[in-house]
Amino acid sequence: MIRRILLLLLAILLLPSSLSATDTVTSSTVSSTVSSSSNTVSTSSGNTVVDKTPSTASSPSVVVNNSDVCVTGVSGAMQTSVFGLSGGTTIRDKNCERLKLARSLYGMGLKVAGVSLLCQDKRVFDAMWAAGTPCPYEGKIGNEAKAAWLKNPSLAPDGTKIKVDAVKAAELKEQEELEKEEEKEEKNPDDEDTTP
């Protein structure tokens, strides 16, 4: 289906120039007036150009009237000499939604739930960790939450410092284990049996 649409668009764009919608007509008029009694001479000339261009594809207006909705309207248009196309859509802002939901939870007295929702953003998680007030962990707060996050850093949001450090530590540990295995193999090479 998409292939057919693309072929149709290509065929329209490659139509001969005789089907072009531009038509220019030029005409000239010269008039002269001479009056002998008042010695007046007037001369005028004019050109008229008629240009029939195709109408322009206008972008539709995407209006978001409610300020409590976290969406933004986007539209665009494209016009060729024969064919025009326009369209519009909305884009969902997930960060805006997170802020509004956290504000609502906090307003209902669910402060830990509101902070937990904000902690899904790696920037908030790292800021809370750096401030010494780690994000809640399954209902635990304060030092209990910190101990739980250190025990399970893989559950932290992607890109947070605690998760990146845990991945680096795991890679170093794996590297050390590989080096130990290589040293062990060098010290104890496999003995070949030479018994008959």
Name the residue ranges covered by the structural domains of the chain.
57-92, 95-182
pLDDT at 83: 80
Rg (CA), the chain: 38
pLDDT at 51: 59
- With cut-offs at 50, 70 and 90, classify the pLDDT of residue 117: very high
- With cut-offs at 50, 70 and 90, classify the pLDDT of residue 18: very low
- CA-CA-CA-CA dihedral for 159, 161, 164, 170, to nearest 10: -150
Q: At 196, is the secondary structure helix, strand, or coil?
A: coil
Find where tokens 């261009």 sit: 53
pLDDT at 72: 83
What CA–CA distance (Å, rounded) separates 20 from 164? Answer: 60
More confidently predicted of 46 and 166: 166
**Of 88, 82, 16, residue with least CA distance to 55:** 82
- Helices and strands, number each (H, E), in the chain: 6, 4
Average pLDDT over residues 2-29: 56
Q: What is the pTM of this model?
A: 0.54
More confidently predicted of 133 and 56: 133
Average pLDDT over residues 40-65: 64
Output the average pLDDT for the chain.
77
pLDDT at 23: 46
pLDDT at 68: 76
Q: What are the pLDDT digits (tens) for 145-196?
A: 999 999 998 899 998 999 898 889 888 888 888 888 888 888 776 655 455 5
pLDDT at 20: 45
More confidently predicted of 82 and 138: 138
pLDDT at 177: 87
End-to-end CA distance of the chain: 75
More confidently predicted of 97 and 2: 97
pLDDT above 50: residue 27? no
